[in-house]
Amino acid sequence: MATYTGSCACGSVRYEFAAEPVFSGHCQCRDCLTDSGHAPLMMIPQASFKVTGTPKFYERKADSGNTVRNAFCQECGSPLFGLSSGFPDAVLVMAGSLDDPGRFVPQMVIYTDSGHAWDYMNPSLPKFGKSPAGS
């Protein structure tokens, strides 16, 4: 298994992990919609995740009641990854921050109840109005 690497736009924060994603998909929740129609995410085991640099975190409550912490670069503001109390052993990596975003292969679309009609999603992907597992 090859190592995945990624960073923010300015390179101040970098990360790597050597584990295959447990989940990969598009999220259309309102928190992920703050800068686009959806967020392409990969869930990976936290034990395999290493960060260099110091991201800034924004904390919020998810609709499940869990606490979600989103990591951004303090310098350029790039979204990088998220942590959820609902998945304490996992990291949700923003696929657009990968050095090779082509490695992202979506398996489903979640939170379609919040999605916009103009954000066209692949019709062959399974779709869920909320998260099938909670966040």
pLDDT tens, position by position, 56-72: 999 988 877 889 999 99
Q: Under a CB-based contact definition with an 8 Å cutoff, are residues 98 and 4 in contact? A: yes
Report the distance separating Cα 122 and Cα 46, nearest Å.
29
Q: Is residue 28 part of a domain?
A: no
Q: Is residue 64 part of a domain?
A: yes
At residue 51, what are phi and psi to the nearest 5 degrees?
-120, 140
Report the distance separating Cα 114 and Cα 131, nearest Å.
11
pLDDT in tens, 7-48: 999 999 999 999 999 999 998 877 765 667 788 999 999 999
Range of the domain at 96: 4-20+40-107
- Give the other-Cβ count within 10 Å of 105's Cβ: 11
Report the distance separating Cα 112 and Cα 109, nearest Å.
7
Predicted model pTM: 0.88
Is 1 a residue whose pLDDT tops 60?
yes
Is 112 a residue whose pLDDT tops 90?
no
What's the average model confidence in pLDDT over 98-117? Answer: 91
What CATH code is carried by the domain that includes residue 62?
2.170.150.70
Q: What is the mean pLDDT of the chain?
A: 90
Residue scoring higher pLDDT (6 or 63): 6
* pLDDT on residue 107: 94
Report the distance separating Cα 53 and Cα 40, nearest Å.
23
Q: Is residue 54 part of a domain?
A: yes
What's the average model confidence in pLDDT over 68-83? Answer: 95
